[in-house]
Structure 1
Amino acid sequence: MHVRLVSAFGILMVLFGVFSIDAKPKKTLEKHTGKSAKIRQTIVLSIDGFPAYYWSDPKYHSYFPHLSELFQKYGVSEIATINPSVTYPAHTSMVTGKDPAEHGIYNNTLSDPFEKNDGGWMWYAEDISSPTLWDLAKENHKTTANVFWPVTVGAGIDWNLPQYWRKKIPEDDKLLRVLSTKDLHKEAELAVGSPLNDVSKDEVKLKTATWLFQNKKPDLMLVYTTDLDTNHHGFGPGSERALSRLSELDQSIFSFLQSVGAFTPKGPAIVIVSDHGFHSADSICAPNVVLKQKGYINDEAGTYNLTFKSSGGTAILLPGSGFQIPETEVQSIVSEILKACPGAEWISSSASKSEPLGELGKTIPGEIDTGFLQKKIHPQALGIFYTKQSLFFSGTRKGELFTKSQSKIHGHGYWNGNPEMNTIGFVYDPTGKKHKFESVKDVFGIVKDMLGLKEKKTKGPRLPTHTEP
């Protein structure tokens, strides 16, 4: 995946004087001077679900004029996400620089066919098996803060307000008070004047981030916003509702950047990034229906030997604990599904470079070797369904194997080589240094460089605290 520094198309520069964050020339902005450059505070802001085509297509620019100005002035990259292209693995890749198979956050949720975890997500930092930016910051005696970044419950962050919910009712606020840094959640709510929980609007999260930055003065702060993604799922990318919310979010981000002194001589370094793009489907493939019919999933006993874990645009085949299956049986299952689900394609975990992989081989050159699924996506993967069509993979075991949807299904989780999954990466380094930004994984290296963080040599990677499935 190559970086494409995309220039703005058709934006009337006359508007920029109205929206400019730093209207005055920055005569005192220091140039990069290598080791002598002063290390700045750094803010990483994530806008969940921002597709790259919102930037590459100028018809959308009027919906985010402030961000458009920044992207035009300082440059922005169209970047690749990871597989699966979903929120929690992608955000963990940002803070570790690793793929999901390496960092241990394989999906938003565990493989849990019978919902024994009651819909719980992978909220807990102890499940991350690779060193994170906050680990590295602590080793380098830097302070850290967080507003709702995924997979941060229990993280070693100095001022931590993690994302967590159970019922999305006021009772969840009590959970957050306990899970956040002691007394921080209550202090933040009193300062901002609004409840902070998973149903809070992004305006509240950004105001909280302003208060946190101004009062705690962390060296590194992570900030995560969710409303664009929510509106894309509900109404579709490019919809009036989603674009209207994007306009509001653009204004809130502008206010936030002003409040922290961004783009001023003594302001912080800024990374603005998203986790994935968006795509809409009109048909549904439910491969677990076949596994249930063949007896690999037993609803009455609550047991399974095989299950497909869906990410929306992909579905990965995982074995039950200790179960082994001949490749011929896997191919028999796959053939039946491929025959019934137009647009579905399959790649086996034993694929080699000699196998005909069509467009897939073009999207990840040099990575098609034996075991690449286990190395990149999931260590127990037996294979994966993917699609380049308007197809959605469901995890359900009920109903038909293939159906036409009565309404569009808006989502992501598609193969990261699909252009619709590309997203955006923006870096403002006050020293003037340019940074290579090709993938969400590059956030780790960029922040590490801007903060001057040094990695200590360890004997080996951290071991994950969970096994899956």
Structure 2
Amino acid sequence: MHVRLVSVFGILMVLFGSLSLEAKPKKKSEKLASKSAKIHQTIVLSIDGFPAYYWSDPKYRSYFPHLAELFQKYGVSEITTVNPSVTYPAHTSMVTGKDPAVHGIFNNTLSDPFEKNDGGWMWYTEDILVPTLWDLAKENHKTTANVFWPVTVGAGINWNLPQYWRKKIPEDDKLLRVLSTKDLHREAELAVGFPLNDVSKDEVKLNTAAWLFQKKKPDLMFVYTTDLDTNHHGFGPGSDKALFRLVELDQVIFSFLQSVGAFTPKGPAIVIVSDHGFHSADSVCAPNVILKQKGYIQDEAGTYQLTFKSSGGTAILLPGTNTNVSIEEINSIVSEVLTACPGSEWVPIATSENLAEMTNLSTESEENPILQKKIHPMALGIFRTKGPLFFSGTRKGDVFTKSQTKIHGHGYWNTNPEMKTIGFVYDPTGKKHQFQSVKDVFGIVKDMLGLKEKKTNGPHMPPLHTKP
């Protein structure tokens, strides 16, 4: 697969090998001074869709030589993501330290069987139910900045350039100018020289982040890149196109780290993290077809009693409003899906005979099933797979089909090896941090910035309006 790229990468390795992210070797006194210095700035950089097997399998390391050098020198962890293993829940877990059932961002998109929201994503910070790192930073009188981090529309971030789109056309730029910190979007575009929107390449986002860091000097900055994930979805993990893009991104990230003074005596602390790995499927299971056949979804009336919300490698069963179904009904649906879709596995919430009572349990209840405590508070159960199977949310066609082309995605159970991802920390004080889950980003950043949490008795209510 990679033969025709060898010569290109060989040349790149020679060129890149002459560069270094490190400053000149420090004297002993300088090292002691830097270790005792208080950390004033921290950057969290997300590389969407970076599978851990790119690091664990040495054959891939030549495609990201600069990152590989950092990982080799300072250490990198293979970390676990959350369920569902998709972008918005995972990124919200990074900034809250909580699972999706607790922080409220259950999926990339709403459970919206009839697409009344026109495919809208969970862009809005007011949907996050618990405090975030930017909330904590504000309480501790620290300034914050953001370039396209998910679920940041309306966030209390000092200099906020949130991710948002509707049609992915230039009209979206007007939306971003309104949703960003006043005048910041236009100022950033003029400074960088390119439009900043959801179709911008990662070079633009990282150049914008470098400008923002140098211009505003935030204590905490979030930066989110998407091109690796996009190429994995389009061409597959390990594909020539995805790996060639990874080589380019590695160089761009290297330039970004240089521009912010990373790994120098007065440089920022750095967290590099990803949200999930990647897997490929060759067949599709559409359990909502069975729900429609059984009358639980009524297209004509636009109502439903049950629906499966797909995440790719999983599909969670959710009730409609005031739904009361029995274990026998659920078991009948599950049996049909298991028969139709080889490789699927059902994980029930419990063996209770009264599912209506189970769905009304508080997410904080000790009796609450693990699916409702971690994934979704209204979960009735979830389908998952370890095989090359993709769960679709469609209500049309057959329950099970063989795909003509590979479907490259994620959303698979977070213990599946393919969903493992990477977490890297550089703390200028030399302190080591435990990094086992995407949720650990919260604690690591909190520790490095010395942020203190205020104890609250009631639920977190993000402000409707915030000023930079």
Please confirm whether the aligned pair reaches a TM-score higher than 0.5, indicating the same fold. Answer: yes
Query: Displacement of 1:461 after TM fit?
Result: 2.7
Q: Which amino acid aligns with 1:440?
A: V
**Aligned residue for 1:151?**
151
**Aligned residue for 1:374?**
372
User: What secondary structure, in the 3-state scheme, does the structure 2 residue paired with 1:29 have?
Assistant: helix
Change in 2 beyond 3 A, CA 1:301/1:271: same
**Cα pair 2:140 2:452 within 8 Å, conserved:** yes
**Aligned residue for 2:406?**
408
Deviation sequence 1:158-190 (CA, Å, 0-9, x none): 000000000000000000000000000000000
**Cα pair 2:39 2:268 within 8 Å, conserved:** no
Query: Displacement of 1:459 after TM fit?
Result: 1.1
The aligned runs of 1:189-204 (5 Å cut-off) are 189-204=189-204
**Aligned residue for 1:208?**
208
- Between the aligned partners of 1:383 and 1:331, the Cα distance in structure 2 is 11
Change in 2 beyond 3 A, CA 1:30/1:346: farther
**Aligned residue for 1:140?**
140
**Aligned residue for 1:396?**
394
- Between the aligned partners of 2:157 and 2:177, the Cα distance in structure 1 is 15
User: What secondary structure, in the 3-state scheme, does the structure 2 residue paired with 1:19 have?
Assistant: coil
Moved over 6 A (4+): 13-16
**Cα pair 1:30 1:430 within 8 Å, conserved:** no
Identity %: 83
Query: Displacement of 1:17 after TM fit?
Result: 4.9
Query: Displacement of 1:40 after TM fit?
Result: 2.8
User: What secondary structure, in the 3-state scheme, does the structure 2 residue paired with 1:130 have?
Assistant: coil
Change in 2 beyond 3 A, CA 1:16/1:233: closer
**Aligned residue for 2:440?**
442
**Aligned residue for 1:425?**
423
Q: Which amino acid aligns with 1:246?
A: L
**Cα pair 1:90 1:275 within 8 Å, conserved:** yes
**Cα pair 1:318 1:381 within 8 Å, conserved:** yes
**Aligned residue for 1:29?**
31
User: What secondary structure, in the 3-state scheme, does the structure 1 residue paired with 2:178 have?
Assistant: helix
Are 1:338 and 2:362 matched, yes or no?
Answer: no
Query: Displacement of 1:225 after TM fit?
Result: 0.1
Q: Which amino acid aligns with 1:413?
A: G
User: What secondary structure, in the 3-state scheme, does the structure 2 residue paired with 1:160 have?
Assistant: strand
User: What secondary structure, in the 3-state scheme, does the structure 1 residue paired with 2:350 have?
Assistant: coil
User: What secondary structure, in the 3-state scheme, does the structure 2 residue paired with 1:186 have?
Assistant: helix
- Between the aligned partners of 1:199 and 1:423, the Cα distance in structure 2 is 24
- Between the aligned partners of 1:169 and 1:404, the Cα distance in structure 2 is 34
**Aligned residue for 1:84?**
84
**Aligned residue for 1:227?**
227
**Aligned residue for 1:237?**
237
- Between the aligned partners of 1:75 and 1:189, the Cα distance in structure 2 is 35
The aligned runs of 1:177-196 (5 Å cut-off) are 177-196=177-196
- Between the aligned partners of 1:191 and 1:450, the Cα distance in structure 2 is 30
- Between the aligned partners of 2:462 and 2:34, the Cα distance in structure 1 is 39
**Cα pair 1:16 1:69 within 8 Å, conserved:** no
**Cα pair 1:137 1:143 within 8 Å, conserved:** yes
**Aligned residue for 1:286?**
286
- Between the aligned partners of 1:251 and 1:349, the Cα distance in structure 2 is 46
**Aligned residue for 2:259?**
259
**Aligned residue for 2:3?**
none
Deviation sequence 1:139-166 (CA, Å, 0-9, x none): 0000000000000000000000000000
- Between the aligned partners of 1:162 and 1:67, the Cα distance in structure 2 is 26
- RMSD across aligned positions (CA): 1.8
**Aligned residue for 2:46?**
46
Query: Displacement of 1:73 after TM fit?
Result: 0.5
TM-score (norm 2): 0.91
Query: Displacement of 1:24 after TM fit?
Result: 2.0
- Between the aligned partners of 1:452 and 1:23, the Cα distance in structure 2 is 26
Unmatched tracts of structure 2, length 5 or more: 1-12, 353-365, 464-468
Change in 2 beyond 3 A, CA 1:228/1:210: same
Query: Displacement of 1:18 after TM fit?
Result: 1.6
**Cα pair 1:100 1:106 within 8 Å, conserved:** yes
Query: Displacement of 1:20 after TM fit?
Result: 1.5
**Aligned residue for 1:4?**
none
User: What secondary structure, in the 3-state scheme, does the structure 2 residue paired with 1:115 have?
Assistant: coil
Q: Which amino acid aligns with 2:307?
A: T
Q: Which amino acid aligns with 2:371?
A: L
Change in 2 beyond 3 A, CA 1:31/1:273: farther
Query: Displacement of 1:462 after TM fit?
Result: 1.8
- Between the aligned partners of 1:351 and 1:196, the Cα distance in structure 2 is 50
- Between the aligned partners of 2:107 and 2:351, the Cα distance in structure 1 is 22
**Cα pair 2:34 2:266 within 8 Å, conserved:** no
Unmatched tracts of structure 1, length 5 or more: 1-12, 353-367
Query: Displacement of 1:37 after TM fit?
Result: 4.3
**Aligned residue for 1:460?**
458
TM-score (norm 1): 0.91
Deviating more after overlay: 37-46 vs 334-343: 37-46
Deviation sequence 1:77-117 (CA, Å, 0-9, x none): 00000000000000000000000000000000000010000
Change in 2 beyond 3 A, CA 1:281/1:17: closer
**Aligned residue for 1:120?**
120
Q: Which amino acid aligns with 2:152?
A: T
- Between the aligned partners of 1:348 and 1:32, the Cα distance in structure 2 is 52
Q: Which amino acid aligns with 1:29?
A: K
